[in-house]
Amino acid sequence: MTRKSIKEIIVVEGKNDTLKLRRYFDCDTIETNGSAVSFAVIERVRLANARRGVIVFTDPDFPGGKIRQTIDDEVSGVKHAFLPKEAAKDEQKGKIGIEHAALADLQHALEHAKVSYSEEEAKTFVTSDDLLQAGLTAGEGARRKRERLGIILGIGYANAKQLEKRLRQFQISRQEWADAVNKLEKELRDDNE
């Protein structure tokens, strides 16, 4: 098997994530070693982003989200790769992490990494009214719809308050939004048949 080379440096949480990625990819990583990201790690991420680009690839859980947000707040223009929780779950141990994901899921997440943009750069995108009309902010099944939409768009899960911000950060266009909502609605109809 030929290992795919990844130009960007991948920010992960720990050594097990690095080992898993290096098993399948020719890549370099920066390990945060926990959710309290140090100034030294931020400086390494900043330098890596300026020289080669960065992909933040953390676990799909609260600590992973905290790391992702810290880096996004401190270093603009980094890419983000997301895995759905189901793809990162060790069924036997009940743990969630990048190190538990299959090769196909890792490849998909890295190939679909998206750049995060500031609020100012992303003002022409999806609004809270759009979210409400699609049944993503309240009502029966809203959480499940948001989870599935995050998978479809490759931006990960976000709660109702954070979804609009995430859609703007990743510059999800109105067309991408419409296509994703149509796909979501079709999946829900198919599930109910």
Domain ranges of the chain: 1-116, 119-193
Residue percentage of the chain with pLDDT more than 90:
49
Mean pLDDT value across the chain: 88
> What's the pLDDT tens digit per position in 12-35?
999 999 999 999 999 999 999 888
Nearest to 79 by CA among 143, 156, 139, 23: 156
**What pairing do the DSSP bridges indicate for beta strands 54-56 and 79-80?**
parallel
Most confident of the ranges 43-52, 75-84, 144-153:
43-52
Displacement of CA 65 from its chain's centroid (Å): 9
Residue of 64, 151, 158, 63 lying closest to 105 (CA atoms): 151
β pairing state of 9-12 and 54-56: parallel
Element (H, E) at 11: strand 9-12
Please name which of 132, 133, 117 lies closest in space to residue 173, comparing C-alpha atoms: 117
- Residue 73 pLDDT: 87
The DSSP letter of residue 157 is -
CATH fold of the domain at 1-116: Dna Topoisomerase Vi A Subunit; Chain: A, domain 2 (3.40.1360)
**Strand 79-80 versus strand 114-115 pairing type:** antiparallel
Mean pLDDT check: name the lowest of 86-90, 158-162, 170-174.
170-174
Residue 123, pLDDT > 80, answer no
Radius of gyration of the chain (CA): 17
* Residue among 167, 162, 168 nearest 120 (CA): 168
Higher pLDDT, 91 or 12: 12
DSSP 96-137: E-GGG--HHHHHHHHHT-EE---TGGGTTS--HHHHHHTT-S
Order of strands, edge to edge, in the sheet holding 9-12?
29-31, 9-12, 54-56, 79-80, 114-115
